[in-house]
Structure 1
């Protein structure tokens, strides 16, 4: 072999070793990726070039975390819609207050009207009651006066009847019959006298003792009773009683008309 051939062979050997070392390193890398057991230094083949050795790289584990959904909230204000809502609310509140105010005014006016009507009704009731009572008083006084005048005439008539019968009974000379007739007459007389006195007292109770006309009428009643007891005609006194009574009744009737 020539020297040139030896030199060429010596040049190829280092290159061949580098290629082999590179292939072994790739095998080691592939074993690391397959998670092979850790290889000690005794198991590694001889490597001529230590600087070309690279330590095994561990596989990086990536965790994939799903992204959360992002919510976008718009904080912008629709001023047109807001103003519309505000105006509507103000109108509703104002209308409600006006309606409430009007309702309160109506209620107050109705209460005032009711009070006025109640007062008017009470006033009318009092007036009507007073008028009714005065009218009843007038009717009672008129009836009692008429009954008193009639009762006084009955007493006067009884006296005249007795005077006429006394003469007849004396001529008959029958004392038993005369006693019977006198007893019957006494009963009638006492009843008529009692009735007249009762009517006189009732009339006086209906009169106002502080009024002049009432005082005059009361005196006429007493005078009439005294006249009939004395067997005198009460006709003139009865006429005076009628005149004074008409004046009193007219005055009371005017009061009743003013009340109604």
Structure 2
């Protein structure tokens, strides 16, 4: 991944700062909801701060980190004007950075668009994979019409959205398939595509393994010659009849 990296996603989470209530009336209403729901309003806000603190310490301006440490960034209180102003500046910084990153990728994609095979374009433009779960990964017999060397692989990856809608990506002429940990049951976040040499292309996904740990982020990259895309409700069932397979870190040429 060149654009939607783990670091970028972490920074995004850090700048997803607390949203404050605007009036005492709204705050009091939220307190009452907490009582009815049976949880401690202040305690939950403190837990949120503690959960975000490692990312805040890594990415936020020092003044915001100090506000968080002394509980001035808790969502259970109305913020002081200086805290709110600092947060608004931080959010604007991230919004500008995010827009710049999106524009960079869009420019890169447009520069290679006329070189991409139809399947790769469909994969990028018509497959909305965000929040989809990887439900199957398997190696298929080689298609001899595309390649006739054992060093090339054919890899199928299936995704599902809430067991209702699904995708099947069949990558042929695969020379490399790399990921940090097993990608089965990972949740898809962002995708990108690029050229890889003269005859190959690279498809990458930023993933989350849904375990909720510090190591929950995962990246996948596959280098291929062509890809076939299928999508529809018939592909969304998670009780896939095909056995999925875990792979080593890479297939070499």
TM-score range for the pair, normalised by the shorter chain length: under 0.3
| TM-score normalised over the length of structure 2 | 0.28
Larger Rg: 1
TM-score normalised by the chain length of structure 1: 0.27
Identify, as 1 or 2, the structure richer in strand: 2
